[in-house]
Structure 1
């Protein structure tokens, strides 16, 4: 199991920078600044601009000149926003310590940025916070990457060895190219580097699929005289070495994960407090009047990375032994009258907002399936497991596009998975909002397959 803490580095940097900004204002101590309006304004403006201009997108291979470029760009915008506060709220008035606060923020955060960068380099040079790497294909370009991994310990890469169809007398030789899959299953591998001159397109495709399923980063070592698609970004290691980074999925960026999670929590709390707080007693009365059994139906489903979690719903069926094996079909005799209404309006899904708060689900994402059905679908759909790289959702792109309810044909599940994968690869916050709005509209319009 991978136990890496790199994803905490960026949030910690952001937290400390915002803390420093507020601490500077406090220590200089000017009553005109020590108020919630000013502190909230500069904190939020810093967070917004740093997100828009990628101020915290610093990686282990980033060069120091790149750090300087980020500082210049970030503070150029921050200075404009800082003085805009006085133009908006203080009518351009120059007040005590206005310039002292600004220059102290710029100086302190610049020093902090470089200290972070240097500290991480030194920390990684001691063998900490490393990424384990293997190289597939052995040529001059891959030799240069291997040499870099072995000579630049401060980059934080732990090189494990290489694979090649041509046997090489070396302790680093791990086997032929086909054996990379078994090796990566039994060893902790964070990144795979593939030589484009030594692997066919089919081999690259196969390794890419494997890497997605196993949460391994795939990078390509290019031929210098070829052009590459917009789906690949160029990275430079040690100035001279060029590596192609296979297009990252939106949720591989930490800021996207936190934006989605924060929205999920606040939206779910709103629903639980202002809707479920009074709706649950009403539904409880109607459910209990019609049939015996609990109000909440809990069922194991497959979630993030294929792990199981307990999914909650309002019970819409009579208690039966087939509920964990068979989905409801049209005219299903197990469905109660109040259950039919709950399913028609999708109100039976509302308890899943508790799943969202717990962290098992998201508001928008691929719908979670029963394990028995998931195993069946994997046989029919090649990229089915890709759905598991994000949290399942209460609603999703497939559902608002008409693919919900009973699976009658293989094309039904294939179309669902196709739309789920499109959502994963093209996620944006606005897409989530659009899906939520469409879900609400569908509730009022009614859906043919909601039974």
Structure 2
């Protein structure tokens, strides 16, 4: 899967960007005030620095800057970087205007922004250039096979290949249809699937057989369980639902219902994140500044 590499490089990228934020702020302070010391009553303190870092981190969560780092193309990455800079600047400006305790001079903010923006964008361009040469190596695709080479199985294959960020690579199909057995992407019959998987580095099976093949599905599921192979059943419900569904179990009966999670809507995600940032900013400025006087 992608997860091991993605988590490691995501953490490194977050830390580097936070380092650039603080480095730009320190250099901006030197340029603005002509001094290396930050304890001379210039209006900047530890609470301010903590709040600025907090705002930047949450802004990048809103724009999903660090999501699917190896899969996203260059243009979406640069676009999200620009949005991050814009949101960051707007929120910091609002904090300076409306929070009296956040008394950071405009001169310092301007110098910091002038330094941080090119450093940040240059870092993203360098990352994209380095990623281009080793992109395929960084994505460790998980090999899977699909049982059932019908329309549902083909749709699943196309979905996994289109959404490469899921981290799956379809090796082939298993199907009992004599016509399909002659096709190149069909590896064998359904009863040959478990033996094939056990002799390879494949540890996951997607079953896209129709409902009428229930006996085959049951046998295959039991064999996969005994062999410690992940088995995932893909029910054919596309004729009933054209979007995500929620699965609930009523005893042994699976019940599917259409759902639209409020937080799946991007505008709601943005509003929630902005509320979280502003609420936390108030806590940091008013509560922590009282608990940790500087």
Q: TM-score, normalized by length of structure 2?
A: 0.53
Match of 2:121 among 110, 113, 120: 110
Mapping of residues 145-224 of structure 1, within 5 Å:
145=157, 159-166=170-177, 168-169=181-182, 172-177=185-190, 179-181=192-194, 183-184=196-197, 187-189=200-202, 198-200=209-211, 203=217
Match of 1:130 among 119, 135, 140: 140
Question: Which residue does 2:242 correspond to in 1?
Answer: 227
Question: Which residue does 2:254 correspond to in 1?
Answer: none
Q: Deviations over 1:23-58 (max 9, x none)?
A: 222344534587533332211222233335533222
Q: Secondary structure at the match of 1:160?
A: strand
Q: Secondary structure at the match of 2:181?
A: coil
- Alpha-carbon deviation of 1:182? 5.0
* Highest RCO, 1 vs 2 (Cα 8 Å, sep ≥ 6): 2
CA contact (8 A) 1:121 1:155 kept: no
Does residue 25 (structure 1) correspond to residue 25 (structure 2)? The answer is yes
**Distance verdict in 2 for CA 1:164–1:54, change over 3 Å:** same
CA distance in structure 2 between the aligned counterparts of 1:191 and 1:59, rounded to whole angstroms: 25
Q: Secondary structure at the match of 2:106?
A: coil
Q: Deviations over 1:132-170 (max 9, x none)?
A: 333413357739957996x99999765533322335346
CA distance in structure 1 between the aligned counterparts of 2:45 and 2:150, rounded to whole angstroms: 62
CA contact (8 A) 1:133 1:193 kept: no
CA distance in structure 2 between the aligned counterparts of 1:190 and 1:68, rounded to whole angstroms: 36
Give the paired residue count. Answer: 223
Question: Which residue does 1:94 correspond to in 2?
Answer: 106
CA contact (8 A) 1:138 1:163 kept: yes
CA contact (8 A) 2:43 2:104 kept: no
CA contact (8 A) 2:56 2:88 kept: yes
CA distance in structure 1 between the aligned counterparts of 2:236 and 2:16, rounded to whole angstroms: 36
The structure with more helix, counted as a fraction of residues: 2
Mapping of residues 27-426 of structure 1, within 5 Å:
27-30=27-30, 31=38, 32=42, 35-58=45-68, 60-87=70-97, 88=99, 89-91=101-103, 93-95=105-107, 97-125=108-136, 127-136=137-146, 137-139=148-150, 142=154, 145=157, 159-166=170-177, 168-169=181-182, 172-177=185-190, 179-181=192-194, 183-184=196-197, 187-189=200-202, 198-200=209-211, 203=217, 227-231=242-246
CA distance in structure 2 between the aligned counterparts of 1:49 and 1:61, rounded to whole angstroms: 21
CA contact (8 A) 2:149 2:174 kept: yes
CA contact (8 A) 2:173 2:186 kept: yes
Q: TM-score, normalized by length of structure 1?
A: 0.38
- Alpha-carbon deviation of 1:5? 3.3
Question: Which residue does 1:304 correspond to in 2?
Answer: none
CA contact (8 A) 2:6 2:68 kept: no
- Alpha-carbon deviation of 1:131? 0.5
Structure 1 alignment gaps of length 5 or more: 233-451
- Alpha-carbon deviation of 1:130? 2.3
**Distance verdict in 2 for CA 1:8–1:138, change over 3 Å:** same
CA contact (8 A) 1:163 1:173 kept: yes
CA contact (8 A) 1:122 1:154 kept: no
Alignment RMSD (CA, Å): 4.9
